[in-house]
Structure 1
């Protein structure tokens, strides 16, 4: 089996950790991890905690020979490394998984731009200088579609869209950068996941952003009425299958393509709202059209919550992935059934972790 030297950013993140697990379990590749920390010792501690989190047991000794930690920062020159370490790295690296990103929706543009655009450009420049480089795997997002209400495919990017938050805008800008580097000859595969949620079988997640927060707000009865696109959909993909799809494409496909890592099944917004309310035992607010909604009576806290998540209550785009699905099928990868049982498992984990309180359980006890 051919052994690669892989540089990986974002390995301690939710999706990145699952991608790392695939690399460790399915290959004999050496992985060089760029981890942001105060010093080398702290970076190593973060790696050991990561391995324990991935495997639920101490397997660090087993994989230690294939892992090397670099305390660094993608936003800094030389990736925050000494010149000696930086130059030694680009003589070794064959491939990169660039997963690191600032994913919060409400961060100021300057902060998000520094990490998601400038930091990504630094990774692209590093890859461009590597002596034995083959391919860069860049984790983007399907939400580069912004507020466009279209059927969004792998060939689409610029659709005269505006963006719902600084995260979406930054990932769009990074994809434009990727196009520029592809023209220069750098091979970049772009992966656009939809909404990444908990593990398929356990429902477990370490990231309660995006999909989960609105349901927590609804369970607390914070809103009497809300706008909802009754014809809208959301696309949810289990983190383990998202990671597996990305790894499968990265390992087996050699071309610089855009891939949509999205669920073939879309969940309608009304169905999700009703399912969650019934599951957790709370009463939904009155759902009305955006044109009928008056935000003037809302409190400051309500306005802050809605500013972040309102665009996804009224979402209009659909993510299409026929091209990607056909390629994955050639490699015997297929998405699992994500119907009622899947939603029950990810919501059950919300209760188990204490993130959302179940009123049904409270009535029982």
Structure 2
């Protein structure tokens, strides 16, 4: 994350109340009797060595304990602080969390916390990639966040309706919208997921309009919170214009968290997220002859039968298999009897 020079806390719109900021009984019930004098604040910015919070009294720079690891905090977290010094006492449990695995690391990288809706932004051009979209969906499902796919740059699409259909087919009940991030009506179309006390986050590749959409949602009252950049025509890819995560008020209500573009998104510890994403495959699996069926070559495979008669798409099953294997490889094995390692594998055959 980008280091910023020392100075006053960033100018963030002041909430009218803690409830306006997203505070609820879920967080209030976590306060112990001896913490009644501590002040709740929501993490608004996280940098390498410092953090800023936002409370009912406005923004403040948080005073961190010695040797504090800012990587253990996410924008959107709720923390309790000393009212006089703004010294951070502890973080409250998260209601939802967005985290991704990076190659070569066993520790997930936090993207945002206590988010209600994840807007997954992609374009109708060459950036549209079902494999990457399914990774975002699995991350949202695993973290307890409702996903919505937003398609941009429809003016350059040969068949925008077909792109919408392909996106909607990625998960049951998945909302899909095509919009222009620069259009004044973009915020209005996203209003059902925004509103007082609600938080949305945006993810997607660089150059698809995430930062533009954040600026549109925030409105023209303040300086644009995010820089924007163009995409390269030869491959429809853009430069990273967002370098740090931050919390911004939406002009029409609610809060938005932008995230830097993710060039890679590895799957790990996401079994529930994948089961939700590929529900039609998971539901067929119990009908297979063998309980440990790989859906590759076994006789009596219900999944292969569904592919053969057109009920399932073969490419979709291949992506399910690839992500499932990746998740298994990136998920730590549980410890069994006598300390033996139990792989996150399949049960024995019936």
Q: TM-score, normalised by structure 1?
A: 0.29
Larger Rg: 2
Q: Which has the higher strand share?
A: 2
Q: Which has the higher helix share?
A: 1
Q: TM-score, normalised by structure 2?
A: 0.30
Higher relative contact order (CA 8 A, sep 6+): 1
